[in-house]
Amino acid sequence: MTVAVAYCDDAHKQLIDLIGQLNDAMNNGRGEKVIVGILTSLSTYCQEHFTKEEHILEQQGYPQFKEHKQIHDTFMRKVTESIEGLKNHTVSPASIMNLLSDWLMLHILKVDKR
């Protein structure tokens, strides 16, 4: 296994773990502060991961680099909007969970495996 692949696997596990923490917090009816906190960590971690992953993909001459970067950018924008929405009560925690689990399925399990 290459270092790059090992790195991405590790990072994806971390992201899955954070999504799990968020799910637990929501199921246990934890307050908005806790949920916003986890979501903020997730957002920071994601941005870091995307930057590294994009660097790796670019170096490897990954053919769908532009599309892949665009998927990352769109996702980051949605996460940022969700955090704002959660704070001003225009977005429900459940819809954020949908966004994250859809992304998890699509992105981590499919796109990054290409």
Query: Using CB under 5 A, which residues numbered 38 to 67 contact Fe ion?
Result: 53
Q: What does the per-residue mask of binding to Fe ion show for 70-99, with x meaning CB under 5 A?
A: ------------------------------
Q: Which two tokens stand for residue 83?
A: 């955090």
Number of residues that bind Fe ion (CB under 5 A): 2
The only residue of 60, 75, 112, 113 in contact with Fe ion, by rule CB under 5 A: 112
b/e map 23-34, b = 16+ CB within 10 Å: eebbeeebeeee
Other C-beta atoms lying within 10 Å of the C-beta of residue 67: 11
Q: How far is the CB of 3 from Fe ion (least distance, A)?
A: 15
Cβ(21)–Cβ(38) below 8 Å? yes
In the complex, the residues that contact Fe ion under the rule CB under 5 A are: 53, 112
